[in-house]
DNA sequence: AGCACGCCGACT
DNA sequence: GTCGGCGTGCTC
């Protein structure tokens, strides 16, 4: 048998399968999707079996050496292959779609601990062992032990140059070892070895004073299951030595077994209660259910206003899918994978769910993922990369808040989970549901063209009204001499809610959570000496750090520019808001969520819990409080400054603002109490603010689409961003220029090629960045053309060190 | 990406 | 004359 293997060398030259013979003794272990160790040139590498074929029938595949010259697979790494044929083919599709190597697409599908690492060792040969070296040094060291090459380089920098000579002389040899980072957790467990009859005989022989032993035996008999040793000790209060005694009598067995780390081990989940559907929910669900039952591919856009009960529809669809013996994936944006959401799924589906999110340790993540591979669960809930859950009969994928930008991966492979989901569901004849109150323009446009079936839910559960939105023109406030950050109407509404003991959410529309250091005398900002970007202040150790290269400096006491001592960090402004609240409303209880208060692990959840249980009047925060939160007593939402995201140099700025205002407004009045939303702005006339005020997605959509058409942006045009980087400007410009000249004559008439221009972040890690932008409507040969470009760029990289990256459908143009 | 092989400058 | 610089080419 011959295996085709993709090796873990993520470059173009090796981006193809290599053929290996499968030795007979490994044949039962090797399958399509196996992770294997293979010799590759002089070294050993990890690889993935993508195909198996019979040598007798077909000889070796085209391009491979003859049968006799094939090397053999050396090892199989897992007892169950981590990949399915479907995922292997999906990875191939990704490599074409996103211009990445096949292996990098395969790797992104797997938990990080499975990635291979090759270690290079130096060891003595028989010849050296026969004649021990007299001089102290590397050779003598090697006589006693083998040494990792990297260590030898550090410890014997002088002698390392002689190693090739020693190899030739037959004194030492290299060997290579492939390892991964898998760790498996083990616990001791106690098993009863006695049958019921034997137990009856044994019990009377136990003396009265050993009632704990008796208790244990009965306990084990009752459950008929092995029990973790730690539980035994806490529940019976037995001493370890007593337990050993029972083992010696042959009544019980104590053994080490492997367990899956379970992040939710200490939690119990009540069985969830189903609420009856509203008419809107029922209509949507009926259409989805029909598609699920039909077993054909279908894709839906579920456009439901905030609070319309989309989650209930999702749950029902998942349940239906499981009933038919198929599996389901539920994707959420990273930040809304909250304990609340996990709880909801655990309550409904119990231990049939695996939860994959970034807060897990690598080991926990691996264990959750293994539940899927081993078929222990049928539902996967997680962020972006959970789209690759290795189910064998995947019937349903749901993407909640599908407009969220976190579904796009910003490193290679630069995939969009929405597109990958579509591809998987086409291949599996499955159903895709995209859900949002504010769909991405691209998505809605495809829905209007029939690529997604549009399902609308325009009413909240219980016919609760959408909150009343008040837009406040902050310029008026200034004219009225109100220089506070709270408008008069927001002020009086806060007063009102405090009196009624209802809760308030205040939202500061700032991008991300970053804070920077600026001199108040001369305006100098601390920036990275290697990247054109300002440093981010970290309160915990009073340092400023560069997000891109990790450069760190201590907080200066004086401005490096003008020596002024008035240099300080500017935060997201939440502290300032908090201070003013305290001043205006004495005794107000504010729960602040920002970088400072949520950096500790678990702090996020803790703060939300405090708010939920009424230990705060106001929840004050940035982006992170915009979505998913559902607190019954919140009846007022205030947006302090709605404009801040409006003036970003991004063609999606209006869309982002509309989405944010709609989402944050959706937090108010979700239950019995009616809600109000106050939006403070300096541009109340802007259409994204106006339409958000009226909860009018469609009008926003139409107006924004006109702008996109005019400016030639998605969804009318598709984009490809090509970025070049190099240490010096002339070289990088020359490369970008050459590429532009190569592409231009090969592109369709209607395609626009912009650039080269400097990237918005013109330098990262001391490398200058220039970019080209392709805007196109119909370019059937684009994938091939870009593949050619990639091959060319590979040469430039080797010869001149110019790096090129291609981002298909970029989300951020940085 | 590594690694080996191979062809030209500064040292014994 | 050799050691070692990194250009070139290959990896089943």
Q: Which of A107, A793, A734, A19 is nearest to A411 (CA)?
A: A107
State which of A526, A543, A570 marks the end of a domain: A570
Does A235 reside within a domain? yes
For residue A281, how many other CB atoms are within 10 A of its CB? 23
Residues A193 and A59 in one domain: no
Burial, A170: exposed, middle or buried (Cβ in 10 Å; 0-12, 13-18, 19+)?
Answer: exposed
Mean pLDDT of chain A: 90
The annotation status of A559 as a binding-site residue, yes or no, is yes
Tell me the whole-structure pTM to 2 decimals.
0.91
| A501 in the same domain as A405 | no
A57: domain CATH number?
3.40.1440.60
Are A136 and A223 contained in the same domain?
no
A528 labelled binding-site residue? yes
Specify whether A449 is located in the same domain as A343. yes
Neighbouring C-beta atoms of residue A273, cutoff 10 Å: 7
Please give the nucleotide, over all strands, whose C1' is closest to the CA of residue A38: C12
Look up the domain containing A292 and give its range. Answer: 279-460
Q: Which nucleotide is nearest to A40 (CA to C1')?
A: C11
Is residue A269, in this structure, part of any structural domain at all? no
What's the CA A139/C1' C1 distance, rounded, in angstroms?
Answer: 28
Which residues of the protein have their beta carbon within 7 Å of strand B?
A 9-11, 13-14, 41-43, 118, 120, 164, 174, 176, 797
Q: Are residues A630 and A501 in the same domain?
A: yes
Element (H, E) at A496: helix A488-500
Orientation of helix A310-323 relative to helix A279-294, angle to 10°? 30
- Residue A799: nearest nucleotide (C-alpha to C1'): C7
Judgement on whether residues A562 and A684 belong to the same structural domain of the protein: no
Distance in Å from B10's C1' to A578's CA comes to 70
- pLDDT given at position A148: 94
What are the tens digits of pLDDT across the range A512-538? 445 678 887 887 888 888 888 888 887
pLDDT in tens, A302-336: 999 988 999 999 999 999 999 999 999 999 998 76
| The pLDDT of residue A511 is above 60 | no
φ, ψ of residue A2 in degrees (nearest 5): -120, 135
In terms of domains, do A627 and A693 share one?
yes
Amino acid whose CA is nearest the C1' of C11: A41
Specify which residues A634 forms β-bridges with. A503
Q: In strand B, which positions have an atom below 7 A from any protein CB?
A: 1-4
Final residue before a domain boundary, out of A227, A258, A289? A258
Distance of C1' in B6 from CA in A168, Å = 17
What are the b/e assignments for A751-781, b being 16+ CB within 10 Å? bebebbebbeebbbeebbbbbbbbbbeebee
Domains contained in chain A, number: 7
Residue A263 lies in a domain: no
* Interval A566-620: pLDDT, tens: 887 776 678 888 989 999 999 999 999 876 777 777 788 889 889 999 999 999 9
Q: Percent helix, strand, coil in chain A (nearest 5)?
A: 40, 25, 35
Structural domain contains residue A375: yes
Domain boundary among A524, A543, A570: A570
Domain of A761: which CATH number?
A: 3.30.70.360
The percentage of chain A sitting over the pLDDT mark of 70, rounded to a whole number, equals 98
- Domain of A449, CATH number, reads 3.40.50.300
The confidence band for A673, taking pLDDT boundaries of 50, 70 and 90, is: confident
Average pLDDT over residues A770-788: 92
Residues A418 and A551 in one domain: no
**With contact defined as beta carbons under 8 Å apart, do A333 and A369 qualify?**
no
pLDDT score at A221: 86
pLDDT at A173 over 60: yes
Which nucleotide across the nucleic acid strands is nearest to A41, CA versus C1'? C11
Same-domain status, A383 and A287: yes
Note whether A154 and A60 are same-domain residues: no
Does the annotation place A100 within a ligand binding site? no
Q: Provide the CA A329 to C1' C3 distance, Å, integer.
A: 61
Asked if residue A283 belongs to a domain, the reply is yes
Residue A679's contacts (CB-CB under 8 Å, 6 or more residues apart) are: A469, A470, A471, A472, A639, A642, A661, A665, A689, A692, A693
Residue range A255-301, pLDDT digits in tens = 888 888 877 777 777 777 778 899 999 999 999 999 999 999 999 99
Same domain, A785 and A678: no
3-state secondary structure of A501: coil
CB-based contact A190:A243 (threshold 8 Å):
yes
Residue (of A399, A403, A390) closest to A431 by Cα position: A399
A139 CA – B7 C1', rounded, Å:
31
The verdict on A680 and A724 lying in the same domain is no
Summarised one tens digit per residue, pLDDT across range A126-145 is 888 888 888 888 888 999 99
| Residue whose tokens read 């208060």 | A597
- Nucleotides, chain C, CB distance < 7 Å: 3-4, 8, 10-12
Distance between CA atoms of residues A787 and A782, nearest Å: 8
**Residue A216 domain flag:** yes
Task: Give residue A814's pLDDT.
Answer: 63
Question: Is A578 part of a structural domain of the chain?
Answer: no
- Tens digit of each residue's pLDDT (9 = 90 or more) over A231-255: 888 888 888 888 888 899 888 999 8
Distance between the alpha carbon (CA) of A165 and the C1' atom of C1, Å: 18
Residue nearest to nucleotide C9 (CA to C1'): A13
Give me the pLDDT at residue A512, please.
Answer: 42
Residue A500 lies in a domain: yes
């Amino acid at each position: 048998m011959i295996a085709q293997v993709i090796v873990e060398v993520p470059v173009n030259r090796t981006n193809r399968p290599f053929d290996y013979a499968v030795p007979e003794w490994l044949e039962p272990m090797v399958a399509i999707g196996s992770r294997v160790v293979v010799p590759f040139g002089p070294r050993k590498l990890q690889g993935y079996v993508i195909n198996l074929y019979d040598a007798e029938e077909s000889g070796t595949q085209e391009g491979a050496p003859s049968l006799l010259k094939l090397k053999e697979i050396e090892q199989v790494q897992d007892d169950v292959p981590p990949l399915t044929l479907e995922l292997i083919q999906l990875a191939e599709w990704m490599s074409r779609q996103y211009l990445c190597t096949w292996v990098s697409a395969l790797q992104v599908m797997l938990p990080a601990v499975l990635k291979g690492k090759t270690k290079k060792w130096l060891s003595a040969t028989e010849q050296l062992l026969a004649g021990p070296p007299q001089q102290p040094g590397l050779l003598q060291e090697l006589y006693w032990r083998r040494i990792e090459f990297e260590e030898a380089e550090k410890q014997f920098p002088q002698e390392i140059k002689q190693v090739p000579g020693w190899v030739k002389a037959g004194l030492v040899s290299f060997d290579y070892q492939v390892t991964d980072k898998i760790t498996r957790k083990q616990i001791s467990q106690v098993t009863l070895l006695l049958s019921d009859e034997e137990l009856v005989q044994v019990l009377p022989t136990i003396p009265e004073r050993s009632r704990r032993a008796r208790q244990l035996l009965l306990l084990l008999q009752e459950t008929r299951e092995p029990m973790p040793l730690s539980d035994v000790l806490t529940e019976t209060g037995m001493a370890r030595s007593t337990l050993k005694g029972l083992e010696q009598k042959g009544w019980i067995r104590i053994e080490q077994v492997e367990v899956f780390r379970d992040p939710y081990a200490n939690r119990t989940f009540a069985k969830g209660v189903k609420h009856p559907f509203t008419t809107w929910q029922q209509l949507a669900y009926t259409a989805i259910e029909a598609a699920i039952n039909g077993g054909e591919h279908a894709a839906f856009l579920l456009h439901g206003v905030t609070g319309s009960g989309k989650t209930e529809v999702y749950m029902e669809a998942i349940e239906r899918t499981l009933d038919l013996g198929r599996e389901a994936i539920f994707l959420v944006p990273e930040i809304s994978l909250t304990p609340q959401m996990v709880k909801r799924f655990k309550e409904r589906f119990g231990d049939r769910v695996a939860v994959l999110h970034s807060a897990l340790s690598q080991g926990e993540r691996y264990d959750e993922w293994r539940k899927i591979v081993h078929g222990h669960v049928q539902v996967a809930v997680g962020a972006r990369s959970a789209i690759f859950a290795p189910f064998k009969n995947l019937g349903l994928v749901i993407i909640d808040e599908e407009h969220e930008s976190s579904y796009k991966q910003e490193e290679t492979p630069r995939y969009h989970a929405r597109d990958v989901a579509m591809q998987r569901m086409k291949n599996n004849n499955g159903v895709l549901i995209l859900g949002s109150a504010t769909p991405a323009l691209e998505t809605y446009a495809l829905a209007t063209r029939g690529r997604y079936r549009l399902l609308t839910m325009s009413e909240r559960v219980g016919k609760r009204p959408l909150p009343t939105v008040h837009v406040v023109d902050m310029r008026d406030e200034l004219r009225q001499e109100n220089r506070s950050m709270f408008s008069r109407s927001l002020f009086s509404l806060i007063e009102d809610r405090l009196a009624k003991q209802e809760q308030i959410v205040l939202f500061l529309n700032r991008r991300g959570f970053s804070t920077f250091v600026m001199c108040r005398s001369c305006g100098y900002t601390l920036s990275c000496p290697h990247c054109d970007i300002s440093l981010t202040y970290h309160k915990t150790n009073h340092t400023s750090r560069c997000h891109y290269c990790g450069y760190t400096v201590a907080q200066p006491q004086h401005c490096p520019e003008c020596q002024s001592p008035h240099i300080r960090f500017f935060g997201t402004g939440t502290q300032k808001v908090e201070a003013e609240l305290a001043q205006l409303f004495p005794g107000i209880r504010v729960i602040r969520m920002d970088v400072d208060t949520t950096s500790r692990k678990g702090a996020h959840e803790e703060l939300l819990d405090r708010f939920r249980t009424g230990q705060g009047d106001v929840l004050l925060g940035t982006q992170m409080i915009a979505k998913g939160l559902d607190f019954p007593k919140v009846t007022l939402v205030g947006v302090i400054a709605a404009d801040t995201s409006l003036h970003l140099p991004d063609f999606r700025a209006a869309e982002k603002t509309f989405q944010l205002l709609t989402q944050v407004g959706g937090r108010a009045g979700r239950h019995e109490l009616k809600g109000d939303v106050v939006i403070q702005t300096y541009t109340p006339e802007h259409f994204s603010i106006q339409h958000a005020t009226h909860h009018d997605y469609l009008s926003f959509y139409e107006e924004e689409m006109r702008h996109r058409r005019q400016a030639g942006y998605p969804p009318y045009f598709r984009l490809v961003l090509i970025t070049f980087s190099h240490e010096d400007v002339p070289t990088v410009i020359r490369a970008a220029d050459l590429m532009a000249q190569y592409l231009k004559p090969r592109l369709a008439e209607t395609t626009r090629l912009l650039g080269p221009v400097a990237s918005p972040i013109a330098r990262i890690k001391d490398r200058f960045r220039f970019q080209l932008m392709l805007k196109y409507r119909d370019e059937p040969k684009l994938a091939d053309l870009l593949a050619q470009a990639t091959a060319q760029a590979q040469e430039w990289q080797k010869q001149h060190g110019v790096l090129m990256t291609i981002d298909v459908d970029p989300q951020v143009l940085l």
